[in-house]
């Protein structure tokens, strides 16, 4: 019994030791649900030191800070506790659900990955006040406002939404903003009038205080439903310069640059239905102020000649959203499908212009044919009443042509029946006989393509055997694979440094990793040996010139100092070119 208990105790102790020795690499976020105007912190934490850390691409976010690196190394009751963290600060670009993909790290020759994390981005939220915070100052001094011309319109009555960006005199905007989220106007007919070319700045007031403002755009809306309708917000990413408490050597206050996500907010309008009292039977939905006319290009002609009849509506209102009244002509007048023409201009006050339907009319028989008056009805939003306009009667006089049959003469006048003279050659253009050719495809079996497809796999077998042998030979070369991998990583990070040459922190971090991996490939040393004295000693043993060694050590020092000191673009370019020359020189001297 005692022996059995002893075995359990030993097994428990060993299990604890194995658990403590396991490598842990995980990702944590500050919150999994945040507003589009908030920032997200992402930490990548490991319990052992590693190399070649690769963060995810952070799709859907903009990196506004990081990577920041922190290391914790402590001993408690004789036990060592180690933690290394890479931190990033992200700003969401749009609303939705986004995935933070896996990050990777190499620890003792093994690649470890974090689990993906899903984050939900909602609409803008209220943030706590802090007058010393540049973000808070920027949010209190820059406002995006959507102004409505009418919050209680009729159905199909035009309203205008004007988006204004108000900026107080305490802050300034010196760079262009970016649109993040645009309203969709699902229940409206909409036409946006963009003001990007208009850079005029106006003076005005916002909540009783003096502000400057610019008009970003005007959007004309025609509601297509009644009741309460939602106008979605316009959301912008605006770069703002805020006066800070820091001063330069001349005593002038310095500016802090802040990117803020600003939203105009949702707007609700209540759409009234058109009144039912007094609504004409042939009302087709026209709302506004219109004129109506019906006219022809001639009223006297011969049979089988054509004339043009135009139905025209001119004015201001929802010109694209209703149908023109239809014609009712005598049956002896052959009428073709109309040609629809719009000459409409959308201004800040809504649509205005002309809508025309042009009919081609061909009389078949001699006689006089009246075109009865046509009525057009619309709702006038000013008087809040329906109005009807009727055209004048038009008489078409057909002087020459065949006389209609007596039995149909009355019907021709009334328009109840239709009699049309058809020419024998009228449908001559229609082809009634086709020229078809038989298709006899050649058989696939024993064709050239058949033998080619059959023999190609046998010809490729020797190539696959040779490629397999070369692959196995390369996989068995452990040292060679390790050197090739390190050399490849060095080239990769040097390439990353060049790509991020405009970002100081990212550039020097990538440049330092490139130099370390290059030495790892050339000298076959481990990360624990990367001290400057050890590097100088190993390079001297390889007969590398002292000047080149000093240049290599100076670049490593530049990478350390540059993270905490200001560095110009000229210095960054010089360090990059210097690193390229040093690596090339060492390659020539180490064989």
On average, the pLDDT of the chain sits at 81
b/e map 242-261, b = 16+ CB within 10 Å: beeeeeeeeeeeebbebbbb
- 278-309: pLDDT as tens digits: 999 889 999 999 999 999 999 999 988 999 99
Q: What pLDDT, on a 0 to 100 scale, did the predictor assign at position 463? A: 84
Q: Give the start-to-end residue ranges of the domains of the chain.
A: 22-122, 134-271, 288-417, 478-589
- 207-244: pLDDT as tens digits: 888 899 999 889 999 999 999 999 988 888 889 888 77
Give me 542's structure tokens: 């390889």
pLDDT classification of 534: cutoffs 50, 70, 90: confident
491 or 54, which is more confident?
Answer: 54
- 384-409: pLDDT as tens digits: 999 999 999 999 999 988 887 654 44
- 169-185: pLDDT as tens digits: 888 887 788 888 888 88
- Residue 269 pLDDT > 90: yes
Q: Spell out the SS3 assignment of 70-96.
A: EEEEEEECCEEEEEEEEEEEEEECCCE
Topology (CATH) of 134-271: Immunoglobulin-like (2.60.40)
Q: The tokens 């009727």 sit on which residue?
A: 390
Same CATH topology for 22-122 and 288-417: the answer is yes
Closest CA to 519 of 495, 500, 494, 498: 494
CATH of domain 288-417: 2.60.40
- Helix (H), strand (E) at residue 477: none
- 92-145: pLDDT as tens digits: 888 899 999 999 998 888 899 999 999 999 888 776 555 567 777 888 889 999
Q: What pLDDT, on a 0 to 100 scale, did the predictor assign at position 176? A: 82
pTM, two decimals, is 0.49
- Residue 564 pLDDT > 90: no
DSSP 504-519: HHHHHHHHHHHHHHHH
Contact status, residue 47 vs residue 24, Cβ threshold 8 Å: yes
pLDDT classification of 536: cutoffs 50, 70, 90: confident
Task: Tell me the CATH class for 22-122.
Answer: mainly beta
Phi, psi torsion values for 482, nearest 5 degrees: -65, -45
Phi, psi torsion values for 69, nearest 5 degrees: -110, 130
**Quick one: 403 exposed, middle or buried, by C-beta within 10 A (0-12, 13-18, 19+)?**
exposed
> Which of 22-31, 97-106, 241-250 reaches the highest mean pLDDT?
97-106
Q: In whole angstroms, give the CA distance from residue 338 to residue 343.
A: 16
DSSP 322-372: SPPPPP---TTEEEPPPEEEEEEEEETTEEEEEEEEEEEEEE-SSEEEEE-
Kindly give the pairing relationship between strand 117-122 and strand 33-35: parallel
Q: Please tell me the number of Cα atoms within 13 Å of 372 on its side-chain side.
A: 10
pLDDT classification of 465: cutoffs 50, 70, 90: confident
**Quick one: 448 exposed, middle or buried, by C-beta within 10 A (0-12, 13-18, 19+)?**
exposed
Give me 120's structure tokens: 């939900």
- Residue 71 pLDDT > 60: yes
Contact status, residue 558 vs residue 508, Cβ threshold 8 Å: yes
Q: Which range among 62-71, 332-341, 490-499 shows the weakest confidence by mean pLDDT? A: 490-499
pLDDT classification of 195: cutoffs 50, 70, 90: low
- What is the 8-class DSSP label of residue 118? E
Largest CA distance in the chain: 130
Q: Give how far Cα 373 sits from Cα of 247, 387, 394, 404, Å.
A: 81, 16, 8, 24
pLDDT classification of 415: cutoffs 50, 70, 90: very low
- Residue 372 pLDDT > 70: yes
Region for residue 24 given its phi and psi (left: phi exceeds 0; alpha: psi -120 to 50; beta: otherwise): beta
Q: In whole angstroms, give the CA distance from residue 93 to residue 60.
A: 6
Contact status, residue 366 vs residue 274, Cβ threshold 8 Å: no
b/e map 40-64, b = 16+ CB within 10 Å: bebbbbbbbebbbbebbebebbebe
Q: In whole angstroms, give the CA distance from residue 532 to residue 538.
A: 10
Q: Roughly how many angstroms between the first and final C-alpha of the chain, as a whole number?
A: 66
Q: What pLDDT, on a 0 to 100 scale, did the predictor assign at position 125? A: 77
Closest CA to 82 of 67, 71, 66, 68: 71
CATH of domain 478-589: 1.20.120.330
């Amino acid at each position: 019994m005692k022996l059995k208990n002893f075995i359990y105790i030993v097994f428990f102790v060993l299990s604890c030791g194995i658990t403590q020795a396991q490598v842990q690499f995980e990702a944590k976020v500050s919150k999994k649900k945040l507003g589009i105007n908030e920032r997200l912190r992402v930490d990548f934490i490991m319990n052992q030191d590693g190399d070649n850390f690769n963060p995810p691409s952070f799709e859907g976010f903009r990196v506004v800070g990081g990577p920041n690196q922190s290391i914790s190394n402590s001993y408690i009751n004789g036990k060592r506790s180690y933690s290394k963290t890479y931190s990033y600060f992200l700003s969401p670009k749009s609303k939705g659900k986004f995935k933070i993909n896996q990050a990777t790290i190499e620890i003792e020759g093994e690649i470890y990955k974090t689990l993906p994390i899903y984050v939900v981005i909602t609409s803008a939220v209220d943030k706590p006040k802090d007058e010393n915070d540049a973000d808070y100052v920027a949010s209190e001094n820059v406002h995006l406002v959507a102004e409505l011309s009418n919050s209680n319109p009729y159905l199909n009555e035009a309203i205008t939404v004007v988006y204004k960006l108000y900026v107080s005199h305490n802050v300034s905007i010196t760079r262009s903003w970016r649109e993040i989220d645009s309203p969709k106007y699902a229940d409206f007919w909409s036409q946006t009038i963009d003001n990007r070319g208009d850079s005029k700045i106006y003076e005005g007031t916002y909540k009783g205080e003096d502000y400057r403002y610019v008009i970003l755009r005007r959007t004309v809306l025609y509601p297509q439903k009644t009741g309460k309708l939602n106008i979605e917000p316009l959301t912008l990413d605006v770069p703002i310069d805020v006066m800070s408490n820091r001063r330069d050597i001349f005593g002038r206050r310095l500016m802090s640059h802040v990117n803020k996500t600003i939203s105009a907010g949702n707007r609700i309008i209540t759409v009234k239905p058109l009144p039912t009292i007094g609504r004409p039977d042939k009302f087709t939905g026209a709302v506004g102020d219109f004129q109506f006319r019906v006219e022809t290009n001639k009223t006297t002609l011969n049979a089988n000649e054509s004339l043009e009849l135009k139905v025209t509506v001119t004015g201001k209102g929802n010109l694209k959203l209703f149908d023109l009244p239809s014609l009712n002509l005598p049956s002896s007048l052959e009428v073709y499908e109309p040609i629809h023409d719009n000459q409409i201009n959308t201004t800040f006050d809504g649509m205005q212009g002309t809508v025309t339907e042009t009919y081609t009319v061909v009389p078949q028989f001699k006689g006089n044919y009246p075109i009865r008056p046509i009525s057009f009805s619309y709702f006038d939003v000013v008087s809040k009443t329906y109005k009807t306009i009727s055209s004048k009667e038009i008489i078409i006089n057909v002087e020459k042509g065949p006389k209609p049959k007596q039995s149909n003469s009355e019907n021709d006048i009334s328009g109840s029946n239709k009699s049309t003279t058809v020419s024998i050659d009228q449908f001559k253009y229609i082809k009634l006989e086709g020229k078809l050719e038989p298709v006899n495809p050649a058989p696939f079996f024993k064709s050239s393509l058949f033998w080619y497809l059959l023999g190609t796999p046998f010809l490729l077998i020797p190539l696959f055997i040779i490629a397999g042998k070369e692959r196995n030979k390369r996989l068995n070369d452990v040292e060679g694979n390790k050197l090739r991998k390190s050399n490849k990583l060095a080239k990769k990070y040097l390439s990353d440094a060049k790509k991020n040459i405009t970002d100081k922190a990212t550039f020097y971090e990538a440049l330092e990793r490139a130099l370390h991996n290059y030495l790892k490939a050339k000298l076959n040393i481990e990360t624990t040996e990367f001290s400057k004295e050890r590097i100088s000693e190993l390079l001297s043993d390889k007969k590398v010139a002292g000047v080149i060694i000093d240049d290599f050590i100076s670049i490593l020092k530049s990478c350390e100092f540059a993270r905490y000191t200001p560095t110009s673009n000229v210095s960054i370019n010089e360090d990059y070119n210097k690193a390229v020359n040093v690596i090339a020189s060492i390659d020539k001297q180490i064989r």
